[in-house]
Amino acid sequence: MSEAKSELPSQRAAADDLQRYEQLWAEARQVHGVSLGRDAWRRLRRNPSAMLSLTILVVLSILAFLTPALPLQSPRQVETLRSFAEPTSEHFWAPHLQTPSAQAEGTNDEQWAAFWRDVDLKFGKLDAIEKLLLQARVAVFGPYAIGSICGTDELGRDLLSRLFWGARVSLIVGVVATLVSLVIGVSYGAISGYMGGRVDNIMMRLVDVMYSIPFIFVVIFIISILSEDSIKAWLIDHGIDRITIFFFLVGAIYWLTMARVVRGQVISLKHEQFVEAARTLGAGRMRIVFRHLVPNLFSVIIVYLTLTIPRVMLFEAFLSFLGLGVEPPDVSWGLLANEGVRVITPVKIYWWLVVFPGIALGVTLFALNFFGDGLRDALDPKLKNR
């Protein structure tokens, strides 16, 4: 009896505790932890210029991807009759493609074969996805295409269409070349920082030496050597075209800063407990570096990524301008700007050939710069939860 009596208050206390814990638990359930990503996204959304830039970039990428499906004229069909036509709203919606129809001669199959031959001439070699998009275009718009509202160039090619097809090349070069530089820079910096000691010293000295080499000149030198006919033929035989070379050369230049930044971050992280824990569990060096340390650098890497893409795009434009980048009949914005600047003469001003490529490049680079700045502010841990 007395035992039961002495138990009662403790039981009551336990029940009280339980109630209290449940209350706390209920409160805790209402509070959500804010992950860095979500917090950054919240802060980014409050930055109107960054959001506008993001919208522009997303729309631009979608349009560039869908270019074959849009009702545009051929980017490479030469029509000397309408050389240097001014921007016009005439023939705003005119037939452009030879699509199969009931009125035309020949069976359906023959007509389709003729259609694809025509496409080959007008758009060059297309891959499977582009062909699919082109079929979608024929299904939706039929043979029609938008008229030359941005004017035409020296050879009478439609500028609007060239801008869209150029966007594909310019954007892909920017993104892929930056990714190459990212892979090199992150691996180099992370390994150097984690190894420390003499290895780190030598690796960073090498970066210092490379910093003071004017790489752009070396790259131009290398590209000119690789454009030598016999080397070029050999490279093309092995499936390497100039754009691939470009990716690797640019990647080889722009990784230096990334390597330094990543190294600094890794050094400050490598004595944290989670690294010790991983090491205690028997993780190897490479596993610690790439599975445990690199994911923690995600915010630094992504900010650097958005700020490097515009630089790379500018560099592509720069090289194409000098005639060392993308080769005709492919187009890129730099090449278009080059064509525009080249035909500036006192006799007649073809302003549209300079202004429209300039606007396309300018708006994209503007958006990338603003978005990168906004992202950097948003991911800054010092501003977290503000």
User: Packing angle between helix 298-321 and helix 159-195, nearest 10 degrees?
Assistant: 130
How many residues bind other proteins (CB under 8 A)? The answer is 44
Site for other proteins contains 183 (CB under 8 A): no
Residue from the set 7, 22, 110, 208 that interacts with other proteins by CB under 8 A: 208
Residue from 151, 189, 193, 340 binding other proteins (CB under 8 A): 340
- Residue 87 makes contact with other proteins by CB under 8 A: no
Could you say whether residue 103 binds other proteins (CB under 8 A)? no
Whether 251 and 177 have beta carbons less than 8 Å apart is answered as yes
One DSSP character per residue, 171-198 reads HHHHHHHHHHHHHHHHHHHHHHHHH-HH
Q: Is 351 in the site for other proteins (CB under 8 A)?
A: yes
The answer to whether residues 250 and 181 touch, using CB atoms and an 8 Å cutoff, is yes
CB of 194 to other proteins, least distance (A): 23
Residues 24-63 that bind other proteins (CB under 8 A): none
Could you say whether residue 371 binds other proteins (CB under 8 A)? no
Q: Which of 56, 79, 369, 376 binds other proteins (CB under 8 A)?
A: 369
Please, is 175 exposed, middle or buried when counting C-beta atoms within 10 Å of its C-beta (0-12, 13-18, 19+)?
Answer: middle
Residues 305-324 that bind other proteins (CB under 8 A): 310, 314, 317-318, 321-324
Nearest to 69 by CA among 139, 141, 133: 133
Note whether 179 and 172 are within 8 A (CB).
no
Q: Is 300 a binder of other proteins (CB under 8 A)?
A: no
Closest CA to 361 of 329, 330, 321: 321
Chain contacts with other proteins (rule: CB under 8 A): 208-209, 212-214, 216-218, 220-225, 228, 230-231, 310, 314, 317-318, 321-324, 334, 337-338, 340-341, 344, 346, 349, 351, 354-355, 357-358, 361-362, 365-366, 369-370
